[in-house]
Chain A
Amino acid sequence: MQGIGVSPGIAIGEALVLKDVPSVLPERSRLTAGEENERLSRSLSSARRQLEKIRAGAEARLGNKAQILDAQILITEDEELLSLVREKLKEGLTAEAALRDGVEYYANLLENMDNEYLRERAADIRDTGRRIIRDLMGVAETDLTHLGTPCIIVAHDLTPSDTATMAPEHVLGFITDVGGRTSHSAIMARTLEIPAIVGTVRGTELIRTGDSLILDGNSGEVIVNPEPDVLGTYREKQRAQAERKEKLQALKGQPTVTHDGRKVIVAANIGTPKDCEGALRNGAEGVGLFRTEFLYLNREDLPGEEEQFQAYKEVLEAMAPREVVIRTLDVGGDKELPYLGLAKESNPFLGYRAIRVCLDRPEMFKTQLRALLRASVYGKLGIMFPMISSLEEVRRAKGMLAQVREELVSEGVAVSEEVEVGIMIEIPAAAVMSDVLAREVDFFSIGTNDLIQYTTAVDRLNGKIASLYTPYHPAVLRLVRQVIENGHKFGIWVGMCGEAAGDQALIPLLLGMGLDEFSMSAISVLESRELLGRLNYAEAQARVTEVLALGTAAEVKEALKKF
C-alpha cells in the first residue's frame, strides 16, 4: 500500500486500527424497550468511565482541554438528551439508532445557532455520541492514553484531541487514510519524531488490528503481514538508520558551515515550550518559528499577559543564547477560536485572519506584545508578524509595538534593546514588495506553506488538488529568490520556516539563493546540517539561474537531483 511519507523513519509493529462508528447502524430492535434501555445504561457508564480515565490520566498534559472532557462527561448524564433517547426506545428503535437520533437533534439545534461556541459544542455532542455507540456495538475502544503495548496507529484521520491525549511512548507510527504534508497528523508525527504516512486512502479498510506492519516514512510504503525475508531487510534498514542518527549526534554543538565556508543557521519550528527539549536534542541552532496558537486554542477565553509571559520566558531561557523567533497570533484560516466569535467565512484563508485580526483588536494584540517584550530580557527574541500583505500593516504593527514598549519602560519594566522585528513573507504581494518592506524590518522569514497556496491558487487542505501543491513550482521559487535578494540588498537576514526549508532536495537550491536560516521540524535538523556541511555554496550559487529558467515543477525536481 502506498501513501505519502510525511515523517521519516521505519516503524515495525502491530497495527491498532481506530475505526470510526460504522455508517450503517441497526435500526429496529428485536429486544424490548426495557432491555435496550439496559444496554444503553451500561454503555453510558462505560463511556463515562472512559472519559473520566482520559481526564485523570491526561490532566497535566491537556491543561485547558480538560474542560472539553468535562463537557463530554456532562453529556453522558444529560436528562434532556436521555429522555428523548428513551422515548425513541419505546418506539422500537435500537439503543444505537435512538442515541444517534437524540444526538443529532441536539447537535443540529446547536449547530444552527449564531454563536461559534455553541457550534463547537455540537462537535462535542457528536464525539460523545460516537463513543457511546462504539461501546454499544463493541467496536474497539480508542482510548489512546492507555495504549498497553507499542503499536502503529491506523486511522482515517487524527484530530488534535486524539494526538493530545495519546501516550507518545507507545506509538510507533501513524498511518492515515487522508491528509498531506501539512495536515495536523503529519506535523504531530514530526514533532513526536515518529514515522508517519498519510493519504493511504483505504488503510483503515485493508488493515486489521493485530496485523503485523512495516511503515516506511521515507518512501511512503506500508507492507501488511510481510514475509520473513522482507521483515529482515527492513529490520536491517531500521538498524542502519538508527546508527546514522547516532552518528549525526556528533554535529551537535558545532556550527553549520558549508564545504567552502559559508555559515548558515539551521533552526527548529516549535509549537509549545515543551518542544524546546526536542529542538535542542536534535541540534537546532535556534527557533525559527514558535507558533503561539497553542496558548489560545482549546479554552474559553483569551490567555492573560502573565500566562503568555511565562510561556515566552520559558522558551527564551531554554534556547538561550540562541535566537527564538516568536510569531504573533495567527488565527483564522484553518485555526478557529470559538470565543473570539469570528463569523464563518466562505474563504477563510483569504479572510479575517492573523495580523488582520490582531490589528483590528488592539487590546488583544497589545497583551501579547506586552508579554513578548517583558520576556525579551530572558534570551534573544525575534518578533514576527504573520500574513503581512502591505506596508501599512507593517507600520501599524510596529507602531503598536513601539507604544507598548514605551508603556513598559514608563512603568519601569525591563525590556531588551536587542529585540529583532521581522515579518513572515507568505503572501505574494509581500514577496513582490519585499524591497520596500525590507527597509522596515530586521528580518524576513519565508512561510512556504501559505506562499505556495497563495501563489498557485491551490488550497493546501484540498486532497483533490494535492498534486498541484508543490514547492518546486518555478513561480514559487522565483519569488523566494526575489525575497532573499531584496532582503540582502538592505542588509537584513532571510530565513524560511515552511516545510520546504527541511526538504533535502530543495536545500541545495535554497543555499545557492543565499538563504541565511533554515527552520524546520526538529526531526530534520541534523540531517539537514549534515547535508549543508557537504555542500559547496559557490557551486550551488552558480546553478540557481539555470534551475529558475526551467518551465515546470517536474523539470525543477529533475534538475535538483543533479545538484
Chain B
Amino acid sequence: MIEKHLEITNSTGLHARPASNLVENASKFKSKITIEKEGRSVDAKSILGILSLGANKGSRIRLTTEGEDEEQAAQELIDLLNSFVE
C-alpha cells in the first residue's frame, strides 16, 4: 500500500471539472484508491464520494493506493492533483 499526503492548491478544490477528472483517471487503475480528509475516507473512483468530501483549496488530504498498479496509480494521481489550476 502506498500513502501520500498533500494539500489541495487549485481554486475550485475537488469539485466540478477537477472532481470528474480525478474520478475518470482513478477508474483507469485496478488498485483500490481512497482519499481521506479529516478522518473521512472515500473511494476515489466515486464522483459522489469525492464531491461529498467537500475538499476546498487548502484542504489537506491523504491518498492511498493498494493493488498491482499501486505505484503507477499513486504517481499519476499525485501529478494530476498537482496539475489542477482552475
Contact = CB atoms under 8 A, between A and B. Distances in A.
A71 interface: yes
A74 B20 contact: yes
A125 B51 CA distance: 12
10 contacts: A78-B47, A79-B45, A79-B46, A81-B46, A110-B51, A115-B15, A115-B54, A117-B16, A300-B16, A339-B16
A118 B43 contact: no
A39 B42 CA distance: 26
A539 interface: no
B54 to A, nearest CB: 5
Interface in B16-54: 16-17, 20, 23, 42-43, 45-49, 51-52, 54
Size category of the binding interface on chain A: 20 to 34
B16 A79 contact: no
A79 B54 contact: no
A74 B54 contact: no
Contact of A106 (B17, B48, B54, B86): B48
Contacts of A78: 46-49
Contacts of B43: 79-80
Given A115-B15, A117-B16, A118-B54, A80 B23 contact: no
Contacts of B51: 110, 118, 121
Nearest to A108: B52
Contacts of B86: 301
Contacts of A117: 15-16
Interface residues of B, number: 17
Contacts of B46: 78-81
Contacts of B52: 80, 106, 109-110
Contacts of A465: none
A284 to B, nearest CB: 38
Of B20, B43, B51, most A-chain CB atoms within 10 Å: B51
Interface string A192-236: 000000000000000000000000000000000000000000000
A121 B15 CA distance: 10
Contacts of B45: 79
Contact of B20 (A70, A106, A110, A339): A70
Contacts of A71: 20, 47
A125 B48 CA distance: 9
A113 interface: yes
A75 interface: yes
Contacts of A80: 42-43, 46, 48-49, 52
B23 A118 contact: no
Interface of B: 15-17, 20, 23, 42-43, 45-49, 51-52, 54, 56, 86
Chain A, interface SS category: helix
B69 to A, nearest CB: 17
B49 A79 contact: yes
Interface string A37-80: 00000000000000000000000000000000011001100111
Interface string A72-107: 001100111100000000000000000000000010
Contacts of B15: 115, 117-118
Contacts of B42: 80
B27 to A, nearest CB: 9
A110 B46 CA distance: 14
Contact of A300 (B17, B47, B48, B56): B17
Contacts of A301: 86
A221 B51 CA distance: 46
Please indicate which of the listed interface residues B17, B23, B46, B86 has the most CB atoms of chain A within 10 Å of its own CB. B46
Name the 5 nearest CB pairs between A and B, nearest first. A80-B46, A80-B49, A74-B47, A109-B52, A79-B46
A339 B16 CA distance: 10
B15 to A, nearest CB: 5
Given A117-B15, A118-B15, A75 B54 contact: no
B54 A113 contact: yes
A301 B86 CA distance: 10
Given A113-B54, A115-B54, A81 B48 contact: yes
Contacts of A110: 48, 51-52
A301 B16 CA distance: 10
Nearest to B12: A117
A71 B23 CA distance: 11
Nearest to B24: A74
A113 B56 CA distance: 11
A131 to B, nearest CB: 16
A71 to B, nearest CB: 7
